[in-house]
Structure 1
Amino acid sequence: MAVSESQKRANKKWDDANKERKAYINKRSTARSFVKNLATLEDLAELTQLIEERRNMLEN
């Protein structure tokens, strides 16, 4: 489905005004895709440890 020119302009305006949020969303999406589609058991074990460390840091 084609995107109208006005929608393209609106999307660009939002992207320009929300660069940090867009980067956050893109990185989160990449991480989720990796975990769901590519991660090995070793990757998941390492990520679990990193997540727990990050959780502890945020809680303290």
Structure 2
Amino acid sequence: MSELKTSEAQLRANREYRKRVNEDEGKKAHRNYLSGKRAARSFINNKATKADLEELEQLIEERKKALSN
């Protein structure tokens, strides 16, 4: 029989926390923002080729121009 490393009370608390976070649109949007930021950094640091990095540089410059207007 395998035993859980996390107590039932902690699992219940985690479920309740996730439920509250998912109901709050601001927190959900921030969580999605952080997730995307993490994914972008991971891609750049681990998988991106030179061509990918050049494309990203172009996209970043376009985004900077759009934000400054």
Which interval holds the TM-score relative to the shorter structure?
0.7 to 0.9
Aligned with residue 9 of structure 1, among 16, 20, 28: 16
Matched, 1:44 2:53: yes
User: Can you list the C-alpha shifts for 1:2-53, whole angstroms capped at 9, x where unaligned?
Assistant: 3712233123312331222222121111111111110001100100010011
Runs of 4+ in 1 over 3 A off after TM superposition: none
**Largest Rg, 1 or 2:** 2
Letter in 1 for 2:17: A
Contact kept in structure 2, 1:35 and 1:44, CA below 8 Å = yes
Which secondary structure does the structure 2 equivalent of 1:12 belong to? helix
Which sections of structure 2, spanning at least 5 residues, go unmatched?
none
Q: Normalising by structure 2, what TM-score? A: 0.71
Indicate the residue corresponding to 2:42 in structure 1. Answer: 33
Q: Normalising by structure 1, what TM-score? A: 0.79
Which sections of structure 1, spanning at least 5 residues, go unmatched?
none
